[in-house]
Every structure is written in C-alpha cells, then in structure tokens.
A and B are shown apart, each in its own frame.
Chain A
C-alpha cells in the first residue's frame, strides 16, 4: 500500500492570499490526483498531476487558480491562489498503489482542511 503525507493538515487563511499544499508519497507513482471535498459534499477531482508534463484540469478548475507542480515521481504541490471563502474545503492528494496507475487501490492522504476568512 502507498502512504501519502500531506501538509499542512489544516490552515486558516485570509481572503486574497495563496496557500501551497504539499503531498509526499512513499513510493514512486505515475499519476497523482488532487481532489476537493467541500463541507458535506463528495470528492470532486481538480486535476491529474503527471511528472514531466502539465497537469490536466477538470472542468471548472483552471491553472491560474490552482497551479500544480510535479517535480518528481513521489511529490506534488497544489496552490490555492487568491483565496476566497468559497475555497474553504478539504483538499486531498491521492495516488495509485502501483506505479503504473492502471490497477490497484487509489490511496488518499489525510487531507488539508483549509478555512478562508
């Protein structure tokens, strides 16, 4: 199984500022995914982060708002830019347990709970 560590685990931020969330996997993985879970809601995919290429964003999410880095096969960051209270959410990093990403269990980090005042 993959162990995924995220930090910060929680933060309180001011409107208009930006926050970068870090995600570290204990093994090399091809694809990493960033999800958002708003209060009382299910998980919504923000983007897929592949090493060596630009992230692929889902409808409703743009790079200027959620820039993503993937410098190597074990690490990724998600930045939430110019935050507003609507960005208050839990942000979850995930990856497959197998390097190829085509099979295996999708593991999640513990999440980063972001509150924007």
Chain B
C-alpha cells in the first residue's frame, strides 16, 4: 500500500489558536488528497479535499498542498474544543481502483 505519514501527536492547542496538521506521502504521482476528521467511536467524515498546489480555504479550515515536496497540511484557525478529534490524511490511489490510503492520524486536543 502507498505510504502516508502523519505525526501521531497528540497535538494540544489552546482554544482560539491555529492548529497545524501535517502529512507526507510516498507516491509522487498522487493527485488527490483528503482530510478526514474522526471523533472517538465514530466513522471518519470528510473535511476537505485538495487537488492543486497551493492553498484551499473553507471556513476555518485551510488545506495546503505542495506536490514537489509531497506534502499536504491542514490548518484550523480559531480552534474550538469541538475540533478535538483525530485527523486523518488520505491519498487517492492513481492505479485506477480509486481507493484511499490513510495516514495513521493526528490526535488533536483543543484546550478550553
């Protein structure tokens, strides 16, 4: 399986701060990247996807992609306690199967 690496954390930030989550991937040909949020005991839910180099913003979330460095990140501005969860980076398989390969996830805790 393709390798997707994340810092497992835990990452703790105070409420209102910016949380920065990072991810690197091994397949240079990868084109599609996703960030999922998973609350404890729940299934993953998609937060953002990004296909092009640069930044993509959606509300308090910004995804950043650098294909040359094989690096994708997620910034969460004005972090809230409800953002406390595990964040999974995922990369789409380019071989035609279209499945996703997931990183190990970063556990984020936002401290009130």
Chain A interface (Cβ < 8 Å from any Cβ of B): 31, 33, 35, 41-45, 48, 56, 58-59, 92, 96, 101-102, 105-106, 108-111
Contacts and interface: CB of A to CB of B under 8 A. Distances in A.
B69 interface: no
A42 B46 contact: no
A45 B98 contact: no
B42 interface: yes
B25 interface: no
Main secondary structure on chain A at its contact with chain B?
A: strand
A110 B99 contact: no
Contact of A111 (B43, B103, B105): B43
9 shortest interchain CB distances as A-B pairs: A108-B43, A43-B102, A42-B104, A42-B102, A105-B46, A42-B105, A101-B98, A33-B99, A111-B43
B99 A45 contact: yes
